[in-house]
Amino acid sequence: MIRPQHLNEGDTIGIVAPSGPVQREKLERALPFFEGLGLHVKLGKHVFRGYGYLAGTDAERLEDFHEMIADPEVKAVICARGGYGAGRIVPHLDFELIRTNPKIIWGYSDITYLHTAIRQQTGLVTFHGPMPASDIAKEQFDDLSAQMFRQLFQPADLVYSEKIAPLYANCSAPAEGELVGGNLSLLVSTLGTPYEIETAGKILLLEDIGEEPYRVDGMLNQLKLAGKLSGVAGIAIGDFSGGEPSKDPSLLLNDVFDHYLYQLNVPVLSGFRIGHCLPHFAVPLGTRAILSGAEKQLKIKAGVC
């Protein structure tokens, strides 16, 4: 495991767009937030390029990402938004460059593909958290979500408890392991590839948006049949907003979770405000974590050194 170096006031962060196209107005609206943290911002050359449903061609998005990793002035790489496209550049990533220049890499949603591939190929801890154009630019961006960026400035363990939101536990037993995962549909898309999510002995975080119960059912069934649920140490279920069923009759999401997850012989906690939601509790991926059903909390070791 490689922890990236923490940030200091006065550092420069780089913003790139590995996935969908970025609206200039939204991204520029978010920049004062980082300036308020005492950081300087450097934008990728192609961040506003746009190429259909992508933020640029594969070569352009890859170039921006590699340049930020290689730039000694840049101490963190923040993804502007999700959408689609990160998986297209993963086979061309220079993992040796990333390993020898370990930096904070931050984002979620489609960025789950980057998190998974980079962690498994390099051992680098990355961060699942709200992004500038899709979250920080919103008027509803809240204090808790904003405070989560503070974990980047000094090593500090995180504790998620019911002080934030109610949690449901299937048992009182604890689970300990490396925290991995992220967006469910992106994790499923790694199956059968060289970057297939590794879950054995891990605490698996799952979240998604706009996926109806039958769709979540299909994806969890695929994870199950691929053997990705049988060896987990525990499961943390994040936010699944916008998944109201349109089919009549339908099962509810909780029925789906009960069938695939709550019946597993491992601790499962649900209700975490992690994912496409506000507040959005940002977490490091690749560090040790303890999931406790009795205490109804998730403890996570610091992601920076």
For residue 153, the 8-state DSSP code is T
Identify the domain containing residue 225 by its residue range: 158-300
For the segment 213-224, the average pLDDT, to the nearest whole number, is: 97
The answer to whether the CB of 47 falls within 8 A of the CB of 68 is no
Q: Are residues 165 and 283 in the same domain?
A: yes
The answer to whether the CB of 80 falls within 8 A of the CB of 131 is yes
Which residues does 145 contact at the CB level (< 8 Å), separation at least 6? 130, 135, 278, 279, 280, 281, 282
Tell me the pLDDT tens digit for each residue of 36-49.
999 999 999 999 99
Write down the mean pLDDT value for the chain: 96
- Residue whose entry in the numeric block shows the structure tokens 């992220």: 182
pLDDT of 247 > 80? The answer is no
For the segment 9-30, the average pLDDT, to the nearest whole number, is: 97
List, in sequence order, every residue forming a beta bridge with 291; answer none if it has no partner. 175, 298
Among 130, 152, 174, which residue terminates a domain? Answer: 152
How much of the chain exceeds pLDDT 70, in percent? 100
pLDDT at 217: 97
Q: Are residues 20 and 136 in the same domain?
A: yes
DSSP H or E run through 182: strand 174-183
For the segment 196-222, the average pLDDT, to the nearest whole number, is: 97
Please indicate, yes or no, if residue 220 is contained in any of the structural domains: yes
For residue 51, the 8-state DSSP code is B
How deeply is 296 buried, as exposed, middle or buried, from its count of CB atoms within 10 A (0-12, 13-18, 19+)? middle
Q: How far is CA 124 from CA 237, 274, 300, in A?
A: 23, 21, 16
**Among positive and negative, which fits the CA dihedral 126, 221, 110, 245?**
negative
The CA-based angle 126-128-131, given to 5 degrees, is: 115
Q: Are residues 19 and 145 in the same domain?
A: yes
Q: Could you tell me the pLDDT band of residue 244, with boundaries at 50, 70 and 90?
A: confident
Q: Are residues 18 and 54 in the same domain?
A: yes
The answer to whether the CB of 184 falls within 8 A of the CB of 219 is yes
Tell me the pLDDT tens digit for each residue of 93-116.
999 999 999 999 999 999 999 999
For the segment 5-16, the average pLDDT, to the nearest whole number, is: 98
pLDDT of 4 > 80? The answer is yes
pLDDT of 117 > 80? The answer is yes
pLDDT of 248 > 80? The answer is no
Among 152, 172, 205, which residue terminates a domain? Answer: 152
Q: Are residues 192 and 273 in the same domain?
A: yes
Among 152, 175, 201, which residue terminates a domain? Answer: 152
Residues with a known catalytic role? 109, 207, 276
Domain count, the chain: 2
Q: Are residues 146 and 50 in the same domain?
A: yes
- Taking phi over 0 as left and psi of -120 to 50 as alpha, with beta for the rest, 12 belongs to beta
pLDDT of 245 > 90? The answer is no
Q: Could you tell me the pLDDT band of residue 246, with boundaries at 50, 70 and 90?
A: confident
Q: Are residues 219 and 178 in the same domain?
A: yes
Q: Are residues 143 and 206 in the same domain?
A: no
